[in-house]
Chains A and B, each alone.
Chain A
Amino acid sequence: MKATSKNSQSVISQKKFKTTDSEVQGGSAPIRKWFLDENNTEWFGKCSMSSLASNTLLESTMNGTTSLILKNA
């Protein structure tokens, strides 16, 4: 599957997150982590199996807009 959209940038956060070492309990997603943003606000992040299996890229196009390219692995 391949799809592009100029709107994709608006759904992807511009925040910079860094992972913490805190342990995550419970949940069924394959990857679950705690993060801190630039303001040291705590976030919980998870990556689903389908997200792991896809190769999703942010590509900068010739005219400078950002597109989301979805390709199933």
Chain B
Amino acid sequence: MRLYALFGITTPETTLSFQSLSPQEQQKFASIAGNPKIPKIFIMSRVLEGFRVLGKNFLSAYKQNGSENSYFFRVEGEKVPLRGYGRVIVVSILVHDYDCVGNSGGNMGYIFRSESKYAEIVKIDPGEALSFAEDMTGVPELANPPTKREARIGTYQSPLQYSQLKPNDQKEFIQAAREILEMPDAKIIDVFQDFLGLDKRFGTILNALLRRKEELLSAFSPEVRTLIMNQIAKLKTQKAEELMTTWGKSMDPSLLVEEEPKEQIGLILQNARLEAFRFVHAGPEEPKFFQVPQKNRHFVEESRYYHRPKGVLASKAESLDAPLLAVLDLVNQT
């Protein structure tokens, strides 16, 4: 649940609590529970006011919801768009939650945001998430490698392909994928910190999750790269528009060679990381791109740059004193 929250999805407050079984429960589960008198761990979720589950009709209705850009609910007599579905779907692929919506639409719901007029996705009960702690070869129908570009939404449901998402949900999906790319591994490790000492399987899960993150980003690298390049282009346009206001006016030339903004550098680094993940996880049949630096005709080499003043000064050697000549020699050596 903390992982869903880490990537910006609304989740209820969740905690663990030891609860004793009632006499009826002790009797009912006597054959399962080793010692029914010992309190058992319960997962407790705080109830969110106004929360409604997506419901059993959601999955079929979503696919039939016409050609609209978003899925719409009718809430309090109003038709409101569902937001957050694309985001929650990409995170469900990341954490291998193969029952993320649930067969009856009971593992996910929404809250109506009346002030902004939309229904916001709320994820509850990620009981099947992080299921890669154990060997899944016995249930291949539930295994979901990110290369399939689909989400397992219920144990008896056909998978939801990325291409079946509504256009706005696809945008959310790719935006969230870019945020997953941006998220340092340290923050994911931090989520596991309390548990790593309890059971070595948590370490297994963490390592598999970090690898899965790279595989997911590799699988969706074309879309994420397009988003990054569009954002870089937008920043460049903004900069150009700022400079346009100075046309015809005298200006400080250093503004033209100003360093790229931090945001743009961050995007370039993200793109490089994305390509690295794709390089590592892409199949052998996929092309690999190598970046080769091109010679810049306008680049002035250091030695030529420093030789030029020396040439000028040497012609006036008679007027130069010894210390200056020593400095020029030092410059040429470096």
Contact = CB atoms under 8 A, between A and B. Distances in A.
B17 A51 contact: no
B17 A54 contact: no
Contacts of B104: 26
A47 B127 CA distance: 11
Interface residues of B, number: 34
Interface string B205-231: 000000000000000000000000000
Q: Chain B interface mostly helix, strand, loop or mixed? A: loop
B197 interface: yes
Contacts of A68: 198
Contacts of B17: 12-13, 15, 17, 45
Contacts of B45: 43-45
B38 A57 contact: yes
A51 B35 contact: no
B265 interface: no
A24 B106 CA distance: 12
Interface in A19-53: 19, 26-27, 29-31, 33, 35, 41-49, 51-53
B249 interface: no
Given A17-B17, A73-B35, A5 B197 contact: yes
Interface in B28-59: 29, 32-35, 38, 40-47, 53
A48 to B, nearest CB: 7
Interface in B11-33: 15-19, 21-22, 25, 29, 32-33
Q: Which 6 A-B residue pairs are closest in the complex by CB-CB distance?
A: A73-B34, A13-B15, A5-B197, A42-B47, A45-B42, A45-B44
